[in-house]
Amino acid sequence: MPDAYTAAALIRARLEAAWTATPLPRLRFENDAFVDMTTLAPFCQVEIVGGEDRPYIGAPSATRLNRMDGVVLLHLMVPATEGMSAIAAMHANARSALAYAVFSGVYTQGISPNRGRPATEDGSYFGVTSGISFFYLYRDAA
């Protein structure tokens, strides 16, 4: 039965297919292999957070439409003191892949910079978080 994990897989596939801002291994999703940090370089840590999952239209059956709301959080990281150009490039890449898109039951909104947490510096990296709200429409299993 489709659910939050189905939505996350659809979003991941779409973002990976369109990602060009960094080498693909530097686009990291939760529970992926760690990014190689032997060389400091920009990377994006992606979180796909599901929200409330609820009946949307109809009674329980194979025809009931359900809605799951969520947000895609993109933690855009660059080596400290490198400036904002790589962050802007990753933000633009995510915008072209996901913002205001409709695919396989996923409906995304615009991308907002500086969402989720404030910019941070940890000595090696500077990062900001961009976010894209979405909802996923799916039908109950027969």
List, for residues 8-35, the tens digit of each pLDDT value.
999 999 999 999 999 999 999 999 998 8
The stretch 33-47 carries a mean pLDDT of 91
For residue 107, pLDDT over 90 is answered with: yes
Sign of the C-alpha dihedral computed for residues 71, 17, 112 and 84 taken in this order: positive
Higher pLDDT, 59 or 25: 25
pLDDT of residue 35: 86
Q: Per residue in 86-113, is it b (16+ CB within 10 Å) or e — as a string?
A: bbebbbebbbebbbebeeebbebbebee
Res. 90 pLDDT band, cuts 50 70 90: very high
pTM above 0.85, yes or no: yes
Alpha-carbon gap, residue 137 to 121, rounded angstroms? 38
The CB density around residue 38, as the number of other CB atoms within 10 Å, is 5
SS3 percent helix, strand, coil of the chain, rounded to 5, is 25, 40, 35
DSSP-derived secondary structure letter, 25: G
Mapped onto helix, strand or coil, the DSSP state of residue 133 is strand
pLDDT at 62: 66
Q: Is the confidence at residue 103, as pLDDT, over 70?
A: yes
Per-domain residue ranges of the chain: 4-139
The C-alpha atoms of residue 110 and residue 140 are separated, in whole angstroms, by 28
Question: 16 — phi, psi (to 5°)?
Answer: -60, -40
Q: Is the pLDDT of residue 120 over 90?
A: no
What is 4-139's CATH number?
3.30.2000.20
What is the reported pLDDT for 125?
87
74 has pLDDT over 90:
yes
Position with higher pLDDT, 55 vs 83: 83
Mean pLDDT, the chain, integer: 88
CA angle 25, 30, 36 (to 5 degrees): 35
